[in-house]
């Protein structure tokens, strides 16, 4: 497992399309509207995640973990140490023990004497986790605990290998708006206040380096009568811009938090939606070309859904971690969960969901009487090969036609009649496209869902 995990580290998560490929290819997700010219009888639907059979991976089992609340997990795989690492949020002092499920409705939850902290956990395989005693932060007069900080709310943590200063290798953004630096993710320096962000930030604040913008981007929370996703940016992780609104729902479906990652040339957002009428939180999917303009995919349809069984470990609330990663050919998305409502008594857990490669969202039929048709915009192509990722159900098929930029048919690939992941299409031997600079692709899907394609260049 350790050797495979080392591969995973190189594939967090943008490099999923490049880490192990000999022939350079350009991979395109069909959720990216910049590459889609038109569609007929086609709808973009989120992919299907699978909740891991070992869930929950860990729970509130320490004296300083009376309530995970939303957990706000940050998970990385450290290739240098061959170790999965998780920083998570917990109230280290709260209202007391959670009453039995049958009694919770009778006793309103009233927090008192709250104090919060950042905890640390590690794993060799990402499934079996330990909470190592750090001896760094005192708790009730003793030091054997896995706390690395007391006080920060909704801390976002990541490792930044590009920073030349080893004392700034790990970075943290949190509320009240401030940043910290660490050489190892455990020993943290003094807080550097960032009042210029001008955000309340009482959510899962998270930050990352954008290679497209050559800047750090921070995602936080604003309030304008409801919870709103805000965005700020910085060149040095100290001086930030004023946070601006980039997404909002409505009072009954509020954008509670958003974590992010970069994958195949786009930015993906995991949007936690507070369904205020039910007082529960689930996770939807969004995407952006630039971290500023965001579009929710199939609003109202969860990407990671709550359990339907009341009292189950993730029946109440779900909060996706940032920085998904590829392990053993699957995308891992860790998440915090709870068995009760957002504003009530609940027990918290750390969990895992998985997703097939590229299967964030794909096109499928609206009416089963006609195929779903998706036509791309003209794209560079050297005629070396074509691959697709699609789920094909029994009796279904995906037909791919190569067109000129003007829409004239050049060649039809052999129909795909089974599920494939980056599968090579069989093109006619007579087809030669080396002289072409650009082509369009036309997909026709019946009883199938198409997620992505790759053009070998």
**Tokens in use for 54?**
């070992």
Average pLDDT over residues 234-243: 98
Domain match, 352 and 373 both:
no
| The dihedral formed by the CA atoms of 17, 77, 70 and 91, expressed in degrees to the nearest 10 | -160
Domain that holds residue 428: 367-456
Domain match, 258 and 372 both:
no
Nearest of 49, 48, 51, 47 to residue 313 by alpha carbon = 51
Domain match, 329 and 397 both:
no
Q: What is the pLDDT confidence band of residue 53, given thresholds at 50, 70 and 90? A: very high
Domain match, 135 and 169 both:
yes
pLDDT tens per residue, range 270-328: 999 999 999 999 999 999 999 999 999 999 999 999 999 999 999 999 999 999 999 99
Is residue 264 left, alpha or beta, with left meaning phi > 0 and alpha meaning psi from -120 to 50? Answer: left
Average pLDDT over residues 86-115: 92
Domain match, 262 and 377 both:
no
What are the two backbone dihedrals, phi and then psi, of residue 33, each rounded to the nearest 5 degrees?
A: -65, -15
Q: Does the residue 424 lie in any domain?
A: yes
Residue 106 vs residues 99, 109, 310: alpha-carbon distances, Å: 10, 10, 16
Domain match, 253 and 376 both:
no
**Tokens in use for 324?**
């998904």
**Which range among 43-52, 121-130, 131-140, 270-279 shows the weakest confidence by mean pLDDT?**
131-140
Q: What is the pLDDT of residue 3?
A: 39
Q: What is the mean pLDDT of the chain?
A: 92
Domain match, 102 and 234 both:
yes
Nearest of 229, 213, 185 to residue 85 by alpha carbon = 185
Nearest of 410, 403, 447 to residue 428 by alpha carbon = 410
Cis amide leading into 252 (omega within 30): no
Nearest of 290, 423, 322, 327 to residue 1 by alpha carbon = 327
Domain match, 258 and 386 both:
no
Domain match, 380 and 311 both:
no
Q: Does the residue 11 lie in any domain?
A: no
Q: Does the residue 24 lie in any domain?
A: no
**Which range among 356-360, 396-400, 433-437, 438-442 shows the weakest confidence by mean pLDDT?**
433-437
CATH number where 160 lies: 2.115.10.20
Q: Does the residue 13 lie in any domain?
A: no
Domain match, 329 and 245 both:
yes
Q: Does pTM top 0.85 for this prediction? A: yes
Which of 356, 376, 406 finishes a domain? Answer: 356
Per DSSP, which regions of 101-146 are E strands? 115-123, 129-130
Q: What is the pLDDT of residue 9?
A: 39
How would DSSP label each residue in 374-396? EEEPPEE--SS-EEEEEEEEEEE
What are the two backbone dihedrals, phi and then psi, of residue 249, each rounded to the nearest 5 degrees?
A: -100, -120
Domain match, 216 and 334 both:
yes
Q: Does the residue 226 lie in any domain?
A: yes
CATH number where 421 lies: 2.60.120
Residue pair 257/317 in contact (Cβ under 8 Å)? The answer is: no
Q: Does the residue 118 lie in any domain?
A: yes
Number of domains, the chain: 2
Domain match, 184 and 107 both:
yes
Q: Does the residue 297 lie in any domain?
A: yes
């Amino acid at each position: 497992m350790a050797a495979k995990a080392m591969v995973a580290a190189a594939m967090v998560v943008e490099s999923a399309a490049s880490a192990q490929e000999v022939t350079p290819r350009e991979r395109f997700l069909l959720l990216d509207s910049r590459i889609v010219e038109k569609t007929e009888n086609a709808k973009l639907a989120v992919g299907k995640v699978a909740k891991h059979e070992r869930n929950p991976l860990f729970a509130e089992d320490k004296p300083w973990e009376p309530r995970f609340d939303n957990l706000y997990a940050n998970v990385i795989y450290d290739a240098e140490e061959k170790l999965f690492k998780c920083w998570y949020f917990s109230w280290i002092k709260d209202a007391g023990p959670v009453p039995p499920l049958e009694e919770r409705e009778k006793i309103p939850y009233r927090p008192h004497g709250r104090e919060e902290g950042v905890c640390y956990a590690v794993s060799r395989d990402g499934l079996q986790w330990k909470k190592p005693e750090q001896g760094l932060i005192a708790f009730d007069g003793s030091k054997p605990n896995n706390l690395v900080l007391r006080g920060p709310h909704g801390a976002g943590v990541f490792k930044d290998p590009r920073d030349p200063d080893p004392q700034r290798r790990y970075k943290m953004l949190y509320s009240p708006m401030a940043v910290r630096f660490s050489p190892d993710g455990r020993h943290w320096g003094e807080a550097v206040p960032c009042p210029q962000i001008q955000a309340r930030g009482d959510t899962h604040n998270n930050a990352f380096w954008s290679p497209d913008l050559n800047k750090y981007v921070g995602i936080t929370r604003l309030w304008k009568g409801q919870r709103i996703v805000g965005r700020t940016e910085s060149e040095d992780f100290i001086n930030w811009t004023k946070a601006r609104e980039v997404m909002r729902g409505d009072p009954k479906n509020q954008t509670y938090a958003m974590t992010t990652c970069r994958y195949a040339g786009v930015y993906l957002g995991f949007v936690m939606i507070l369904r205020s009428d039910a007082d529960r939180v689930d996770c939807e999917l969004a995407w952006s070309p630039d971290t500023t303009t965001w579009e929710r995919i199939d609003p109202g349809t969860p990407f990671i859904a709550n359990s339907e069984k009341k009292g189950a470990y993730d029946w109440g609330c779900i909060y996706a971690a940032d920085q998904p990663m590829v392990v053993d050919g699957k995308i891992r998305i860790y998440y915090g969960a709870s068995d009760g409502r957002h504003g009530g008594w609940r027990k918290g857990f750390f969990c895992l969901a998985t997703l097939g490669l590229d299967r964030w969202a794909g096109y499928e039929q609206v009416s089963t009487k006609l195929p779903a048709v998706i036509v791309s915009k003209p794209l560079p192509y050297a005629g070396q090969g074509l691959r697709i990722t699609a789920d094909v159900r029994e009796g279904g098929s995906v037909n791919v036609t190569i067109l000129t930029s003007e829409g004239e048919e050049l060649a039809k690939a052999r129909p795909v009649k089974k599920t494939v992941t980056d599968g090579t299409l069989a093109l006619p031997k007579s087809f030669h496209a080396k002289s072409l600079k650009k082509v369009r692709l036309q997909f026709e899907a019946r009883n199938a869902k198409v997620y992505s394609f790759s053009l070998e260049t």
